[in-house]
A = this chain, B = another copy of it.
Amino acid sequence: MARRLTQQDIARMAGVSQTTVSLVLNNRADSEVRISPETRQRVLRVIRETGYIADPAARRLAEGRNRILGVFTYEAVFPATSADFYHPFLVGIEECAEEVGCDLLLFTSARASGGGRRRIFNEDSRVRLADGCVLLGRMVDRDDLARLIADQIPFVSVGRRDDAGGPVPYVGADYPTATRALVERAVRLGHRRLVYVGTGGGAESTADRYAGFRAAVAEFDVEGLHLAPDVSDLLDAVRDTGATAAFFEEQADAVLFVQAAKERGLAIPGDLSLVTLGSATRPVHTDIDFTGFLIPRREMGRRAVELLTGVIESGGTPQELLPCELIEGSTLIGR
């Protein structure tokens, strides 16, 4: 590999010192440092002619900055399987990274040598190459989080915000508010007995939805029931509750439910209103125009990068919940 151009080479050609080249490049105009216009032009000309570009590694080493943002995911970023969960986040992340002039480093090598799940800190982690990083994924390793905090590596977690021996900077979706709004809408439409279909626990994202549901039914003083999505006959189970509106944690479950309802003569939304709490994590294609809300994934990605640049520059532990856009839809009607 032909040795590439260095500032030393440029300096030689322009008849100045390497220092001068560096100063011109970073066009410093401090009172401390002075370069005559002629010299500056001469150096710039050589740089232009040779197409010299500074070595990013050396740069990073010297000044500690890179304009590279790391992106870490616990699963493959580009899942072969689905129309995928990560994609919208990445769209937002890329957009914003482009705006702030940063490149993205995807930690694809992170799968530990053991072949197990991905870990941020493996033997030769390249995390530190980036100025900071965005964490994506429903299951973030607590030890990794703790380590990030301990090492004071700037990062922002998207979605997850578990505490890990210290506050975690994050961008999330405001599920409680969105869920509350949907409950309110149902109540306004005359529903008095609602059922929540979903795990209601586990990941924060689902726990949040359920908590929002619970708080809202209490606030509006209506009946709020809960059903696990994996009961043997969900259709009957929902019917038995006597609820007039069902809130589905998972859109995929709602799709199956509608399928079953159609087969067994239950009219949606005539006999039962349906609400979905956010877009599907499991891929599903449907033409049903569910009433529900959109998780602002793209916006979350964007915001994560914005916050990250802030953290990199001035530290802090930003925590933000982004509003979900409500979808009018046609599966929730008055009764």
Contacts and interface: CB of A to CB of B under 8 A. Distances in A.
Contacts of A129: 56-57, 68, 129
Interface string A233-260: 0000000000000000000000000000
A223 interface: no
B103 A106 contact: yes
Interface in A86-109: 87, 90-91, 93-95, 97-98, 101-109
Interface in A49-70: 51, 53-61, 64, 66-68
Interface stretch (A73-81, A189-197, A201-209, A269-277): A73-81
A57 to B, nearest CB: 4
A91 B56 CA distance: 27
Contact of A152 (B2, B66, B107): B2
A134 to B, nearest CB: 13
A185 interface: no
Contacts of A128: 4, 53, 55-57
Interface string A309-333: 0000000000000000000000000
B94 A124 contact: no
Interface in A7-62: 51, 53-61
Contacts of A121: 51, 53
A147 B56 CA distance: 18
Interface range on chain A: under 10, 10 to 19, 20 to 34, or 35 or more? 35 or more
A109 B105 contact: no
Contact of A67 (B51, B97, B109): B109
A126 interface: yes
A14 B237 CA distance: 65
A230 interface: no
A147 B94 contact: no
A288 interface: no
Given A51-B147, A105-B105, A121-B51, A80 B298 contact: yes
B105 A103 contact: yes
A94 B76 contact: yes
B61 A78 contact: no
A1 interface: yes
A111 interface: yes
Contacts of A110: 103
A94 B68 contact: no
B98 A103 contact: no
Interface in A117-163: 121, 123-129, 147, 151-152
Contact of A106 (B54, B58, B106, B147): B106
Given A51-B121, A80-B298, 16 more contacts: A56-B125, A56-B126, A57-B61, A57-B66, A57-B129, A68-B105, A76-B95, A78-B90, A98-B109, A98-B111, A102-B108, A103-B108, A103-B126, A104-B105, A104-B108, A105-B106
Interface of A: 1-2, 4, 51, 53-61, 64, 66-68, 76-80, 83, 87, 90-91, 93-95, 97-98, 101-111, 121, 123-129, 147, 151-152, 298
